[in-house]
Amino acid sequence: MARPTVGHLDPSFVAMMDDLKDLLRSAFRTRNAMTLPISAPGSAGMEACFANLVEPGDRVVICQNGVFGGRMKENVERAGGLATIVEDPWGRAVDPQKLKEALAAAPDTKIVAFVHAETSTGALSDAETLCAIARENDCLTIVDAVTSLGGCRLEVDAWGVDAVYSGSQKCLSCTPGLSPVSFGERAMAAATSRTTRAHSWFLDVTLLSGYWDEGAKRAYHHTAPINALYGLHEALVLLEEEGVEKAWARHRRNHEALRAGLEAMGLAFVVPEAERLPQLNAVTIPDGVDDGAVRGMLLAEHGIEIGAGLGALAGKVWRIGLMGHAATQANVDLVLAALKDCIG
């Protein structure tokens, strides 16, 4: 990221753009032509998907089992769409049967949206099954993969995901500020055949394609964050060198080590084992333990930051990230020793 900054249409940078797209396709496990990093955080990737696919009056079924499903609802409503919410308890995966029932009750649904890896709770939903149900009902899918990309199995093409977004700062171990997205053929067909213009100019994929499409004469769209993209490119190179499947296995292996240590300390996981994310470990704060005091001591005395609970889980859980380059046995040992010291 400290390399000299070149122009956003410089031939050397354009060549790197093409390489970066190939690396993103490998990470997402897709051949989608429209695969690129949005020049903004994961929230903008989310908005890019909804802004391009939702038109006024479109019905969207949103499966909500945490904080980020609620943000999907906001995006649908701001685009003029009609949001139908399918709720599951926080800390549980999305229930496929509930989605089936919701689609049967709303046959005019255009899009199904859900969070693959819910960062607020540590729950992992069965994206393959949910996408299959959506396709059976002739619906497009929008999938939040902010915490799953690079950390657990994600198969965009094999699962039939139509639009997916992620973030650079989670399991890719890059700096925050970029959002990898991928639009499949069905999603691009919907985006390019709209009867109304996308309400976001900056995130309009028909305009972004003029800048990011390989082989085309690049058209100026915006000044890309050159050095941040250098960093994302290198992060994806490291993932490619390790191998995506090996990275998934490493996250799982280190999660199991962390789980064993946390349970030995008497800490209980929020999410049932079969629905649990390896890279985001949510544990219940023991009775009588001061949430803020422990997290403050961890940071001040050990240089370790763990996440507080969000939304309905605020003050009730700790969220321990085990992501990307940080998912190592050494870090597992470090956080377990530090947490034991702080709890007393």
Q: Residues 262, 233: one domain? A: no
Q: Looking at the domain assignment, is residue 261 inside a domain?
A: yes
- Contact 145/166 with Cβ under 8 angstroms? yes
> Residue 16 — pLDDT band, cuts 50, 70, 90?
very high
Per-residue pLDDT of 95-117, as tens digits, reads 999 999 999 999 999 999 999 99
Per-residue pLDDT of 258-274, as tens digits, reads 999 999 999 999 999 99
Helix 42-53 vs helix 67-78: angle between axes, to the nearest 10 degrees? 40
Provide the 8-state DSSP code for 288. Answer: T
Q: Which residues make Cβ contacts (< 8 Å) with residue 33, sequence separation at least 6?
A: 188, 213
Q: Residues 90, 107: one domain? A: yes
d(CA 163, CA 141): 6
Report whether pLDDT(82) > 70: yes
- Residue numbers of the domain that contains 328: 244-343
Q: Residues 220, 186: one domain? A: yes
Q: What percent of the chain has a predicted confidence (pLDDT) above 90?
A: 95
Tell which wins on pLDDT, 29 or 220: 29
At 344 the pLDDT is: 77
Q: Looking at the domain assignment, is residue 1 inside a domain?
A: no
Q: How many CB atoms lie within 10 A of CB 176?
A: 13
First-to-last C-alpha distance (Å) of the chain: 41
Count Cα atoms within 13 angstroms, Cβ side, for 232. Answer: 31
Q: Residues 138, 175: one domain? A: yes
Per-residue pLDDT of 214-248, as tens digits, reads 665 788 899 999 999 999 999 999 999 999 999 99
> Residue 339 — pLDDT band, cuts 50, 70, 90?
very high
At 216 the pLDDT is: 59
Q: Looking at the domain assignment, is residue 6 inside a domain?
A: no
Q: Residues 212, 70: one domain? A: yes
Mean pLDDT of 194-217: 90
CATH code (residue 221): 3.40.640.10
pTM here? 0.96
Q: Residues 108, 194: one domain? A: yes
Provide the 8-state DSSP code for 274. Answer: G
Q: Residues 44, 115: one domain? A: yes
| Number of separate domains in the chain | 2
Average pLDDT, the chain: 96
Q: Looking at the domain assignment, is residue 3 inside a domain?
A: no
Q: Residues 250, 302: one domain? A: yes
Tokens at residue 219, please?
């058209």
d(CA 103, CA 137): 7
d(CA 242, CA 324): 11
At 217 the pLDDT is: 76
Last residue of a domain, one of 213, 241, 269: 241
CATH code (residue 290): 3.90.1150.10
Q: Looking at the domain assignment, is residue 55 inside a domain?
A: yes
Q: Residues 231, 255: one domain? A: no
Q: Which of 71-75, 277-281, 310-314 has the lowest mean pLDDT?
A: 310-314
Per-residue pLDDT of 156-200, as tens digits, reads 999 999 999 999 999 999 999 999 999 999 999 999 999 999 999
Q: Looking at the domain assignment, is residue 46 inside a domain?
A: yes
Per-residue pLDDT of 134-144, as tens digits, reads 999 999 999 99
Count Cα atoms within 13 angstroms, Cβ side, for 245. Answer: 1
At 219 the pLDDT is: 86
At 192 the pLDDT is: 96
Q: Looking at the domain assignment, is residue 5 inside a domain?
A: no
At 215 the pLDDT is: 61
Q: Looking at the domain assignment, is residue 2 inside a domain?
A: no
Last residue of a domain, one of 206, 241, 276: 241
Q: Residues 307, 191: one domain? A: no
Last residue of a domain, one of 241, 275, 303: 241
Tokens at residue 238, please?
């490291």
Tokens at residue 318, please?
């700790």
Tokens at residue 237, please?
């190179």
Q: Residues 209, 248: one domain? A: no
Tell me how far the alpha carbon of residue 29 is from its chain's centroid: 14
Q: Residues 186, 293: one domain? A: no
